[in-house]
Structure 1
Amino acid sequence: MNSMLLYFIKSAISMALFYGVYRVFMEKETNHTLNRFYLVGTIILSLVLPVLPLEKLFIIESYQMPLLFISGEQGIASAAIEISNTSGAGLSISGIFLARIIYLGGIGILALTLIAQMVRLFFIRRAGKERYGQLTVISVVKNILPFSILNRVFISQETREDPKLNTILDHEHAHFRLMHFIDLFLLEFITIFQWFNPIVWLYVRSLKEIHEYQADAVVLQGGEGTGTYQALLVNQLTGTEVFRLSSAFSKSLTKKRMIMMTKIKSGKSAWMKALIAMPVLAILLIAYAANSPAGIAGEGDYIVKGKVVEAETGDPLPGVSIIWQGTTSGTVSDMDGTFVLKVNDKDAVVVYSFVGFTTAKTTGEGEYTVKMDTKVYEVNTDYNPGKEKAELANEESPEKEPIKTSEPEEVFYVVEDMPKFQGMNPDACIAYVQENLEYPQKARNKGIEGKVYVSFVIDTKGKVTKAEVKRSVDPLLNKAALKAVNSMPAWTPGKQRGKAVQVQIMVPVEFKLSATDESKLHTNELK
């Protein structure tokens, strides 16, 4: 699913649940300060929750192995990739593209109307200006509802002559002193970018109601009679709204507002009702963590699958690390080189890495044949007659037994901190193995060459253990490859979540006849 669409869905669900708690349990309470901060806090929380790395707070285990975190594209080279699924030619407008156009159009309309209101407010005809405490009172010619923006109050000339003008100004001063303009600017920004979400508009309506409740309470606490104040509100109903980012004196006059003026102030029970939102928050945290792209490996909406092969020979490559870049989701290729990976992003970048081969990557869902190029290592394999006797003796010697350890049975393939060979990446071990490889003379004489794949485990102390041949060429070459691998010095062990763990690695060991060997072999064949 498109990541932006998923974000909007998650934020809408969060807003709906939090707002539902407000409507059912808190709306009728008179603790307006609590209600105000609850609404502002939960709408911000609803916007932030979907993008938090919640999988780090809730460790959710799955049946797949722990996987490596890929932080960037450094060291990634191009590889030959064949894509088996192709789309037809021609231009088509997808549903997602059309939805984006509509979404951006809605943003544009709201932004333009806001700008138009600001321009109209700037050019509105003014009849005078005076000070009232911290406020600047501006009289305008047009018949408008009294409203305030920051410390500026706009009133009509008719309102200026009202004997209750001071009460109106006290009401607007309460809006300024309580900094309601911060809420209005925040909600306006959210509304522009989530104009399609009806819950956002409900938040705006409820928050503006609370602003009026608070301003009304300040005026009534100042000694104004409830009856005369309500009559004043009714008298100010006529007029037009000029600017939606303002606090209007009687714009939100409703039956609820009238009732709220006469209700007894809520006690401590209102705070207890607000705590009902905590279980909602806990449910959202766990749900979003479980559905995070970096949460449970193997859950997603799009499939990346195919086969990884060696570019030179076309042979399948088993044990290739296949990671969804930027996450901890991934898998490894099977013995026949096949793999299946589920991702939550249609355009996900998948990275393919294997010791001894150039790293490759693909972009987007689909079925791929990934051809990986072999890295070249220069190795001296010239014929040396003096070694023949020693090599023959080595061939007859029993194969070295893997070191038995008491480490846990679990073996990782890829971890957060991969093992390092002599302070370098695992690739460095290839050069060591090739340099210390003894080419059996019998194999030379028979013209046997090829690539032996050997897997081994780096235990928690960095020792090479459990070396075994995964793909054989000839028993002679197998023994030589195992001997070279087992001769490696200790590694720096791999770590998962800061703890040393066993990590399995597979390397290709190449036996290639030199020009001298091939010449002698050709001469012997002629004889």
Structure 2
Amino acid sequence: MKKYLFTLLSLLTLFSALQAQEVSPVTAKPSVILDGKLLLNGMDTLRKFKKEDIESATILKDRNKTALFGINDNNGLLIVFTRAKQNTAENIALKEKIAKLNIATKPDMVMKAGQTVNPSRDSIAKGTFDFVSIEKQPEFPGGLKAFYQYLSANIKYPKESARNKIQGRVFLSFIVEKDGELSNVKIMRGVSADINEEAIRVISGSPKWNPGIQFGVPVRVKYNINVNFALN
């Protein structure tokens, strides 16, 4: 029960902290989009999730921004991604839409589960951020479409897996460094040993990305992505 309450209270506290910057207090529950779907009784639905189920959450309180997601009231919007569905096509598209809003936390404040911390520029630049929680996400030159074109052109299907007709989707994480290099490439969920190795090889050999930006400076960003291995 504590785990359920922690997730819900963390989201509400973050939302309340942002609303506190306005004149009026929080008097109504925000709308909730969960994994791309607008929920009825959204905050009640979130009670079903444990802390570890939630990958990230974005909070919008500007009506001009919430209207872009079909929300036209003044109660704000929580956009929540679960770990189980964080890399679906729908969620990737939604994250791209959020990134284009260029959401920026005030430079003198970082929100962490209801706490406010006053970071130095040095500590910001040295930290590692989640790719959906920063001002500007890291990006492969040309965007995700160009990145998947790079993968398609450079993946060499492992012969043994091809012979055995093994195929599937490899989920990886990596760090986009401040200079755009990719590091710490790891398999989160794999398919087979040789396919996993090929996924790591092609991701590690990627051209430099445009780095993520937080508070106006390049930062290290943890990024999640999936690579599909399919036989024609």
TM-score, structure 1 normalization: 0.26
Provide structure 1 residue ranges, at least 5 long, that are not aligned to the other structure. Answer: 1-5, 11-47, 52-75, 87-301, 309-317, 328-344, 362-406, 515-527
What's the counterpart of residue 394 of structure 1? none
Percent sequence identity is: 23
Q: 1:498 aligns with which of 200, 210, 216?
A: 216
Q: 1:419 aligns with which of 123, 138, 153?
A: 138
Larger RCO: 1 or 2 (CA < 8 Å, sep 6+):
2
1:444 aligns with 2:176: no
1:475 aligns with 2:170: no
Distance change >3 Å, CA 81–CA 498, structure 1 → 2: closer
Deviations 1:481-507 (A, max 9, x none): 101101110111111000110001111
Q: Give the secondary-structure state (helix, strand or coil) at the position aligned to 1:502.
A: strand
Distance between the aligned counterparts of 2:215 and 2:45, measured in 1? 27
Distance between the aligned counterparts of 1:484 and 1:472, measured in 2? 15
Q: CA RMSD in A?
A: 4.0
Alignment of 1:140-179 (within 5 A): none
Q: 2:147 aligns with which of 429, 452, 473?
A: 429
What's the counterpart of residue 246 of structure 1? none
1:324 aligns with 2:53: no
Q: Retained in 2: the 8 A contact 1:452–1:509?
A: yes
Query: AA paired with 1:416?
Result: E
Q: 1:457 aligns with which of 172, 175, 196?
A: 175
Task: Considering fraction of residues, name the structure with more strand.
Answer: 2
Alignment of 1:27-426 (within 5 A): 50=23, 81=37, 305=46, 321-326=56-61, 348-350=77-79, 352=81, 357-358=89-90, 359-360=93-94, 408=126, 410-414=128-132, 415-422=134-141, 424-426=142-144
Distance between the aligned counterparts of 1:433 and 1:351, measured in 2? 28
Q: Retained in 2: the 8 A contact 1:411–1:501?
A: yes
Q: Give the secondary-structure state (helix, strand or coil) at the position aligned to 1:50.
A: coil
Distance change >3 Å, CA 497–CA 83, structure 1 → 2: closer
Deviations 1:502-525 (A, max 9, x none): 0011111111111xxxxxxxxxxx
Query: AA paired with 1:50?
Result: V
Query: AA paired with 2:79?
Result: V
Deviations 1:59-109 (A, max 9, x none): xxxxxxxxxxxxxxxxx9x977495869xxxxxxxxxxxxxxxxxxxxxxx
What's the counterpart of residue 231 of structure 2? 513
Query: AA paired with 1:417?
Result: K
Query: AA paired with 2:168?
Result: G
TM-score, structure 2 normalization: 0.54
Provide structure 2 residue ranges, at least 5 long, that are not aligned to the other structure. Answer: 1-15, 25-32, 63-73, 96-124
Query: AA paired with 1:357?
Result: A
Deviations 1:380-404 (A, max 9, x none): xxxxxxxxxxxxxxxxxxxxxxxxx
Query: AA paired with 1:485?
Result: I
Query: AA paired with 1:487?
Result: G
Distance change >3 Å, CA 79–CA 460, structure 1 → 2: closer
Distance between the aligned counterparts of 1:457 and 1:347, measured in 2? 31
Q: Retained in 1: the 8 A contact 2:167–2:229?
A: yes
Deviations 1:279-313 (A, max 9, x none): xxxxxxxxxxxxxxxxxxxxxxx5662799xxxxx
User: How many corresponding residue pairs?
Assistant: 157
